Amino acid sequence: MLDVIKLLPDSVANQIAAGEVIQRPASAVKELMENALDAGATQIDLVVKDAGKSMIMVIDNGCGMSETDARLCFERHATSKISKAEDLIAIRTMGFRGEALASIAAIAQVELKTRRKEDEVGTRIINEGSVVKEQSLVPMQPGTTFTVKNLFFNVPARRNFLKSPQAEMRHIVEEFTRVTLMNPEIGFTLTSDGKELYHLYSGNLKQRIMGLFGSSYDSRLLHVRQESERVRIDGYIVKAEYAKKTRGEQYFFVNKRFIKHAYLHHAIENAYMEMIPKDSFPGYFLNIEVDPSDIDINIHPTKTEVNFLDVKLVYAILHAAVRKAIGQHNLSPMIDFDESADLNNDFGAAMNLSNPLAIPNVAIDPNFNPFRKESTPHEKHWDNDFRKEKNTSSGDWRLLYGERTDIPNESIGKVEEQQQEFRYLQVNQSYIVTTVKSGLLLIDQHLAHSRVLFEKYQKELENHSGVSQQELFPQALSLNMNDASLLKELLPELENLGFVLEQANPTTFMINGTPTDAAGCDAVALLEKILDNYKINRTDLQLDRKLNLAKTLAAQLSVKEQTKLSQMEMQNLVDQLFACNVAEIAPNGKKIYVLLNMEDFFK
Ligand code: ADP
Ligand code: MG
C-alpha cells in the first residue's frame, strides 16, 4: 500500500494558520499596526473601506524593508524579531511569531510598498493568496505601506461569516484604540470610507485618552502610578462618579500589550468597591510593566491572554495603586477649608481687578458671609435653630450650643476661638451647608456619617479595637439554624466591632454588649438587620467579610435624615468626613456632597 501522508503546500498551511490569526478585518488592522510600531514609526495612518472588507491600508514612516526582506516577510515563521528560543522570554516587540503577514497574504490580495532610508527607491510586491504576482521598484518616502484588499476573497465561508459593517467597524475602532492608547507619542489617523474618524497627535497618555474619548475626560481621570522592584504601574483610572453602566472603557495592558485578565480586573474593580453602584463599571487605562521573563505571552495566538509568574503580587500592587489614587483624589484639594470663615480675599480681589463684566454694581464685602446675611425672604425656610443662632452675638456663645451646657469651660474657650462665626447650617434637618474657600458645600448628613463610620469600622476590624458598652439588661437573640451558624461565623469580627455576644444554646445568643455607636438602639433588631444586610451584600456584591460588616453596620448606625444636629455635631461630622480616605462617595456609591462654586454662587 502507498504512503498516505503528504506535506501540505504552503498556501494551504498558511490559509489554515490564517483562520486562527485573522478572524476579521480588525485582526488584520491590529497586526499591520503592530508591525508599524515595531518598525519604529512615529506616524501611522490607517485607512479602511467598507469596514475593512474591501480595503485596509496602513501607512507608516518606520524603518522599511530591503528588497529581500520585502519578499521574505510573507513567508511563514519569517520574523526579524526573534532568532532563537531564548529570545522568546525577552520579547519587547508586539510581534514575534512571523505569522501575520503570511496569514494575511494567504487570504487576501496584498500590496506592499516599502523603502529603507538608505535605499534610493522602494520595493513594490503584490502577493495574492500566498503567491507573488508582481514585483517592481517604486519611488516613495522611507517607510512601509501595506494595502490589503478583499480579505477572505478565497475563503467565502469566512467572508459570509462577517458581521454587519457597523459591527466590523466597531471591532476596528476597538483595535485602533488599544494600539493607539499605549503609544501616545506616536501620531495616528483613522479614515473610514473617506471620512477621518480620528486624528491623534503625538502627546502624553492623558492627551491620548482625551483624543480618543473626548476632552471631557480631562477632569474625569485620576493618575495612577506605583513602582516596585518587579512591577511598575502607570496610567489613569476614571473617577468613581463617572462609572458606566456598561463595561466599556476598561483598558489593561502588560508591557503595552492589551490583555484580558479577569483576576487582575477584579483587583481594580475591588479597589472601587464601595464607591460604585453595583450595576456600574469603573473605567481604566492602565499599563503594567514587568520584566518580560516574568510573564508568558505565548499562550494564545491572538495574544490577549498573559500568564504571570507571580500574579498575586501583581494583584496586590495593582489594588493598592488604584486605592491610593482614589484616596488621594478624595482628599479633595479643591476643598480648602476656610479657617477664617470669611470669603476668600483672593476671590474678592480677582473680582474687582480682572473682570470688568463682573457684577459692576455689587461692591464686594470681604466679610460677607451668606449665613450671616440680614434677613432675606429665603431665610424663612431655614430652620428655627439657625435663626436663633443668627441673632446671637459671638459673645453669647452659650446660646449657640443650646442644651450643650455640659461642655467644660476649657473646651468651650477653644470652640469659641475657632468658631467666631456660625459655620454650619442644617437644612431640612438632613443637609449640612458650610463655607469653604472655594464656595459652598452641601453635605448629605446621613451619607457623610455612613462614610465616617464605614472607615472607622474597617479600622476596628483590622485592629480589633472596637469599643463596647455593656448592656444593663442583656437581651436574647433567637435565630433560625442558618442565621445562628452565620452569626457564629461572624462572632470574631462582631467582637472586634464592640459586640459582646454569648451563645446560650444552638440558636440563641445573649447580647451582653454593643458598640458605643449603638447606644440607644434596639440591639436585637440591630443584629437581625446586620445579618440580613450581610446576606444581601454577600450575594449581590460578593464583598469580603470585613468590608461587608463595616458597610452593613455603618448603614445601620449612621445618623438618619430628619435628625436635628447641633453646631458641634455638624462640625465634628464635617471634620471627620474630610479626614476619611474617601470623602466624596458613600459606601453605597452615592455622592456625599456637592460644592457650589463661589463664582457660580455669585451668578
Ligand atoms: P512578526 O511581526 O511576528 O515578526 P509579521 O508576519 O507580522 O511577523 O512580519 C514579518 C516581518 O516583516 C517582521 O518581523 C518585520 O521584519 C517585517 N515587517 C512587517 N511589517 C513591517 C513594517 N511595517 N515595517 C518594516 N518591517 C516590517
Ligand atoms: Mg507582526
Cα 260 to ligand 2 centroid, rounded to whole Å: 20
Catalogue the long-range contacts made by 162-170 (C-beta closer than 8 Å, 24 or more residues apart): 162/24, 162/25, 162/53, 163/24, 165/50, 165/51, 165/53, 166/51, 168/24, 168/25, 168/26, 168/51, 168/52, 168/53, 169/48, 169/51, 169/52
Angle between the 481-496 and 445-463 helix axes, to the nearest 10 degrees? 80
Out of 250-259, 372-381, 395-404, 552-561, least confident range = 395-404
Pocket test for ligand 1, best of 29, 73, 107 (most atoms within 8 A of CB): 73
At residue 376 the predicted structure's pLDDT band, cuts being 50, 70 and 90, is very low
Out of 295-299, 408-412, 494-498, 516-520, least confident range = 408-412
Which residues, in sequence order, are bridge partners of residue 233? 226, 288
Distance CA 478, CA 475 (A): 10
Ligand 1 atom 21: the closest Cα is on which residue? 35
Condensed to tens digits (0 to 9), the pLDDT of residues 316-327 reads 899 989 988 887
Q: Is residue 79 lining ligand 1, measured as CB closer than 6 Å?
A: yes
- pLDDT reported for residue 481: 85
Range 265-284 average pLDDT: 83
Q: What is the DSSP string of 373-424?
A: PPP-GGGGGS-HHHHHHHTS-TT-HHHHTTT-TTS-HHHHHHHHHHTSS--E
Condensed to tens digits (0 to 9), the pLDDT of residues 528-558 reads 988 988 888 776 655 678 888 898 899 889 9
Residue count of the chain, please give it.
603
Condensed to tens digits (0 to 9), the pLDDT of residues 178-237 reads 999 999 999 999 999 999 999 999 999 999 999 999 988 998 999 999 888 889 999 999
- pLDDT reported for residue 223: 94
Share of the chain above pLDDT 90, in %: 40
Beta strand pairing call for 122-128 and 55-60? unpaired
Condensed to tens digits (0 to 9), the pLDDT of residues 323-371 reads 888 877 765 444 445 444 333 333 333 333 333 333 333 344 444 444 4
Condensed to tens digits (0 to 9), the pLDDT of residues 140-166 reads 999 999 999 999 999 888 888 898 999
Mapping DSSP onto H, E and C, the string for 261-321 reads: CHHHHHHHHHHHHHHCCCCCECCEEEEEEECHHHEECCCCCCCCCCEECCHHHHHHHHHHH
Range 559-565 average pLDDT: 90
Give pTM, 2 decimals: 0.61
Cα 32 to ligand 2 centroid, rounded to whole Å: 7
Share of the chain above pLDDT 70, in %: 79
Range 242-261 average pLDDT: 86
- pLDDT reported for residue 473: 83
Distance CA 496, CA 488 (A): 14
At residue 169 the predicted structure's pLDDT band, cuts being 50, 70 and 90, is very high
- pLDDT reported for residue 10: 75
Question: How many Cα neighbours within 13 Å face the side chain of 94?
Answer: 24
Pocket test for ligand 1, best of 38, 68, 91, 297 (most atoms within 8 A of CB): 38
Angle between the 445-463 and 567-578 helix axes, to the nearest 10 degrees? 60
Ligand 1 atom 19: the closest Cα is on which residue? 35
H/E segment holding residue 500: strand 500-505
Residue linked to cell 454569648: 502
Pocket test for ligand 1, best of 35, 42, 60 (most atoms within 8 A of CB): 35
At residue 86 the predicted structure's pLDDT band, cuts being 50, 70 and 90, is low
- Per the prediction, the chain carries an average pLDDT of 80
Q: Is residue 73 lining ligand 1, measured as CB closer than 6 Å?
A: yes
- pLDDT reported for residue 83: 62
Range 281-298 average pLDDT: 85
Cα 303 to ligand 2 centroid, rounded to whole Å: 12
